[in-house]
Amino acid sequence: MSLQMKLQQCVIDFAIFLITIPSLVVVALLLDHILNHTGWADQLETQIIMAALSVAFFLICIMISVYLTHRVGNCLWAGPQSDQQSIYTVERGGALGGPDELPPPTYDTIMSECEPPSYEKISKIFPPQEPPPSYAATIAAHDPAAHI
């Protein structure tokens, strides 16, 4: 993708953001005003206006969802586009599962360059601790009549 096309896509994304978000806010504020400050349940005109605003809010949300899913590479009416790159595409040297893909490293391949630390070195860093007393020993400590 050329720099000009990336810039064009960024401008389109920004323009859609600048149009849709304020539109959603304005429609939501109008709906809130009609719900809280007018007798919308009594007047047919305000009921029609409220229904129209609700439909507009719903359509704007659907259009944003369709654009975002299309933008990430999942075209809703045509299914996933596997030949196009999307934000989920992972670029690697070979195809996924191909013959030139290396297996993940194992412990032995990672630790082949250095030896693990000795027990003495670890015991200096983390001194050994006494294990916690068992439940029976705890009960016996509180109750002198208990037999273990």
- Say what the pTM is: 0.46
User: What average pLDDT does the structure give for the chain?
Assistant: 76
How many CA atoms lie less than 13 Å away from 107 in the CB half-sphere?
Answer: 2
Q: Which ranges of the chain does DSSP label H, i.e. alpha helix? A: 3-37, 44-71, 107-110, 119-125, 135-142
Can you read off the two tokens belonging to residue 131?
């294990």
Please, are residues 24 and 58 in contact by the beta-carbon 8 Å criterion?
A: no
Can you read off the two tokens belonging to residue 72?
């990430």
Quickly tell me which residue has 């196009």 as its tokens.
84
Q: Distance (Å, rounded) from C-alpha 60 to C-alpha 16?
A: 11
How confident is residue 6, by pLDDT bands cut at 50, 70 and 90? confident
φ, ψ for residue 26 (rounded to 5)? -65, -45
When pLDDT is averaged across residues 72-94 and rounded to a whole number, the result is 56
* pLDDT attached to residue 52: 92
How confident is residue 92, by pLDDT bands cut at 50, 70 and 90? very low
Q: Distance (Å, rounded) from C-alpha 138 to C-alpha 135?
A: 5
When pLDDT is averaged across residues 74-83 and rounded to a whole number, the result is 60
pLDDT: which is higher, 92 or 24? 24
Residue 95 has pLDDT above 50, yes or no: no
Q: Distance (Å, rounded) from C-alpha 53 to C-alpha 27?
A: 6
* pLDDT attached to residue 94: 46
* pLDDT attached to residue 76: 61
pLDDT: which is higher, 45 or 119? 45
